[in-house]
Chains A and B, each alone.
Chain A
Amino acid sequence: DAGVTQSPTHLIKTRGQQVTLRCSPKSGHDTVSWYQQALGQGPQFIFQYYEEEERQRGNFPDRFSGHQFPNYSSELNVNALLLGDSALYLCASSFLGGVGQYFGPGTRLTVT
């Protein structure tokens, strides 16, 4: 079992650009959640996808959007990047209704 995988590992973008991050959930999981971890803080919930729809959303602007595919994998898109979007982005997968979440290693995004 490969667990939760994320790509790319690192990414450098320029302010104003757009970025797409990818996540493949653990085998058998149907729900994907995304978190942002800024330096010195705990991870912050961005949103959760189930059955290809956004099920819950945290306090993030509309510049942050996502998608879930029929195979349960997911993308996180961020438009009009700001310097403050520099962070580690974590993906977590779970069963809908399950309390356990499994995390990937994250994608480190640097915006210059």
Chain B
Amino acid sequence: ILNVEQSPQSLHVQEGDSTNFTCSFPSSNFYALHWYRWETAKSPEALFVMTLNGDEKKKGRISATLNTKEGYSYLYIKGSQPEDSATYLCAFISNAGGTSYGKLTFGQGTILTVHP
């Protein structure tokens, strides 16, 4: 059973603060790691798909890093805004037993609330 853990479980920050979350995943049989942003009553929105050790990706004020050897990824938000309030999910894809393109194993998510 694959174990994907996210921390913290929830986070309250003030507008303008920078913040970061952690996703831990198995360090063996790595294929890809996804980050999703999920606002209430909407579809999860893909932020990043990361496939290479050392990957760093950026989208506006949001960036992510990946360390496949030690099994973790960080998501950073610079200058948080109230519209960043959402649940942030990471999902791991393993290549154990052959490539498993579709089977995302999710963490439980980090709920971010940005207060004006």
Q: Which A residues fall within an 8 A CB radius of B?
A: 3-4, 31, 33, 35, 40-45, 48, 55-56, 58, 90, 92, 94, 96-106
What residue in chain B is nearest A5 (Cβ atoms)? B43
CA distance A11 to B108 in the complex (A): 24
* Additional 11 contacts, C-beta under 8 A, given A42-B4, A45-B105, A97-B101: A4-B43, A33-B104, A42-B6, A45-B104, A48-B102, A96-B101, A99-B34, A100-B34, A103-B36, A103-B44, A105-B41
- For residue B59, CB closer than 8 A to chain A, the reply is no
**Contacts between the two chains (Cβ within 8 Å), count:** 68
Which size class do B's interface residues fall under?
20 to 34
Closest to A101 in B: B104
Q: What's the minimum C-beta distance from B73 to chain A, rounded to whole angstroms?
A: 15
